[in-house]
Chain A
Amino acid sequence: MSRRPAPQVAAVAAEPLTLGARQRRPLTLRRVGSAAVPYLLVAPVVIAIAAVLGYPLYKLVTLSFQRYGLPELIQRKGEWVGLDNFRSVLGDEVFWDTLVRTIVFTAVNVALTMVLGLLLALLLVRLSTPVRVLLTTGLVLAWSMPVVVAVQVWIWMTNFQNGILNYTLTTLGVGDYFQHDWYATTFSKLAMVTLLIVWGALPFVVLSLYAGLSQVPRELLEAASIDGASSWRVFRDVTYPVLKPILYILTSLSIIWDFGVFTQAYLLIGASQVNVDNYLMGVYVFIEGYGHSDFGRGAAISVLWLLIVALLSVFYVRKMVRMEETA
């Protein structure tokens, strides 16, 4: 093989190798080699993901068709039971109750996050610079808190004995919350989880929306207010159209995340307190599959759950890919 001058090699490699070009030029060993470069570069990632993510995912699906408990784990061989696991799960009231509870929980969390997030972002625009910097810094600080740490702080703040929440509510005259137990009912348990999740999710939403608001043309806002348009009309006709794509993305991300929530619910409610009355899907999958060592049935629940999440993700992924193509 003859040595080509370097610039020419570079040109071949730099040009995108389209199908048409490949047919027109003679197929040399070097050209085949350079066409293989991107695949070689991607290969390690693909192999790692296939081994550590793909294979378990495949395993999950096969497990869901097997009886697989501790004895089978030791023997490393499950017994094929067909659709038994799925039949058992879908015939279980707990599954449907949990699904409905998770959907309601997700709806409430996403709605709160998005509405409060939008209001906060709109507020940020109206603040004087020092206060805006202060609030933005506070948001970033709250955002940076690790979930497991935030859970511990929540446990302490909502503690029935000396928790600051009970003290504050009582002192402000909201009611008598002396030694009030926030973890007494399912509703209040999930309300505390909601509070924690919304607090943790707000910074990302607010700062993303605030970045989006900076795209709204200033002249348009001024013109609208000089024309005497109401704040609501300015928002609806000028601000909202600009924010729409980012709102769409943030809402779909929030839905995916809140539907898949585990750590906050599991740790805040407490391992000893989670049960069929307060399961969210993530906790349900974890307890039924891992906690009860009934891996086959747990896998069936996982498969159903992941399918729903995958379905929800389609909207997000499609939008991201489309935006990239137009960008």
Chain B
Amino acid sequence: MSTASLERPGGARRRRRRVLKRRAWDLLGIALFVVLVFPVYWMVTTAFKPDDEINSAEPTWFSLSPTLQHFRDAIARPYFWDIVQNSLIVVLVAVGASMVLAFLAAVALAKYRFTGQKVFVVLMLGILMLPTVGLVIPLYVVLARFHLTNALTGVIITYMTFTLPFAVYMLRGFILGVPKELEESAMVDGSSRLGAFVRILLPLVAPGLVATSLFAFITAWNEYVFASVLLTDQSNHTITVWLSYFYGTSRNTDWGGLMAASTLTAIPVVVFFLIVQRRIAFGLTSGAVKG
């Protein structure tokens, strides 16, 4: 915009131009929304479309005769319920254990000062940055020695450890967010440190604990590399590994079934993510934005 046009009298015209400009931006925004969400939309609609609509050269943008057949097929596949059970066991046990350990460490980081504290924080952040594929080989060799390959236990231990750094980091933030005065006043009232901790700190940190658990759940549920290497038997697979084998050859793929299976895999993650996103997803950039 040149300076001259801004200084020219005629407020009405300027306002109209501003409205038009905003309309144009809005239009662009809607177009980008369509592009960004399209993959998700296409997954869900394909899952509900009858086969002839999926395999036609002319795509059906919105099916008028939706079917549940693909979901029935996906669930009827061998081992489906075993796999759901595996994923749930692995994720729940790993996240449960991880939360207990992470919470203890987070309390130490937030409420005490001790030598080596900074090293510990740096270590947590550093580990968070390690690409997991780099550790697959030695972990496989080590777990093979203890006969923990092709067993859920090996994966549980692995997931528990790999969700720790982020959980510690997040929980520390939540605990630091509790005003110190609250705890102190409880202690002045005669409660012990442990009493103050249980009665004051825990309830206040509970939402953060839930959010962190859900985030760890998502991470573990989505994990693919370790599960695919450590679990060889089909009946031992987790849901991401199962999904990765779903797709057969590029010809005659059951696209409807694949998209139904994808939708089923994504549902718990999407639901949990929508719940916790606001609270936690920016953990890795906290400090750069003071919100």
Contact = CB atoms under 8 A, between A and B. Distances in A.
Contact of B29 (A127, A231, A246): A127
B133 A260 contact: yes
Contact of B33 (A134, A256, A299): A134
A45 B105 contact: yes
A134 B273 CA distance: 17
Interface stretch (B63-71, B75-83, B277-285): B277-285
B77 to A, nearest CB: 14
A56 B135 contact: yes
A153 B56 contact: no
A310 B134 CA distance: 12
Contacts of B246: 152
Interface string B133-147: 111111111101100
A55 B273 CA distance: 33
Interface string B108-127: 11011110011011110111
A316 B124 CA distance: 13
A145 interface: yes
Interface string B17-31: 000001001101110
Contact of B141 (A57, A263, A295): A295
B270 interface: yes
A155 B33 contact: no
Contact of A148 (B29, B130, B222, B290): B222
Contact of B25 (A123, A230, A310): A123
B262 A60 contact: no
Interface of A is mostly: helix
A290 B282 contact: no
Contacts of A221: none
B279 to A, nearest CB: 13
Interface stretch (B8-16, B37-45, B204-212): B37-45
Interface residues of A, number: 117
A53 B1 contact: no
Interface string A208-244: 1001101100000000010010110000000000000
A18 B123 CA distance: 22
Contact of A49 (B6, B32, B164, B247): B164
A219 to B, nearest CB: 18
A323 B173 CA distance: 14
A63 B222 contact: no
B179 interface: no
Q: Which of B55, B123, B133 gathers most chain A CB within 10 Å?
A: B133
B93 interface: no
Interface string A107-129: 00000000000001001101110
Nearest to B291: A211
Contacts of A267: 224, 244
B170 interface: no
Contacts of A6: 187, 190-192
Nearest to B161: A52
A246 B288 contact: yes
Interface string A239-256: 000000110111001001
B274 A246 contact: no
Contacts of B140: 290
A73 B273 CA distance: 40
A199 B233 CA distance: 33
A186 B139 CA distance: 31
Given A267-B244, A290-B137, A44 B270 contact: no
Nearest to B263: A149
Closest 10 CB pairs of A and B: A260-B131, A144-B273, A41-B108, A16-B113, A38-B112, A323-B287, A56-B138, A52-B161, A228-B3, A313-B129
Given A127-B25, A167-B57, A302-B135, 5 more contacts: A49-B161, A60-B138, A146-B240, A285-B134, A320-B287
9 contacts: A9-B193, A42-B104, A56-B135, A56-B139, A131-B33, A139-B36, A153-B39, A208-B289, A253-B285
Interface of B: 1, 3, 6-7, 22, 25-26, 28-30, 32-33, 36-37, 39-40, 42-43, 46, 54-59, 101-102, 104-105, 107-109, 111-114, 117-118, 120-123, 125-127, 129-142, 144-145, 157-158, 160-162, 164-165, 168, 184, 187-188, 190-193, 196, 221-222, 224-225, 229, 240, 243-244, 246-247, 250-251, 253, 255, 258-259, 261-262, 265-266, 269-270, 273-274, 277, 281-282, 284-285, 287-291
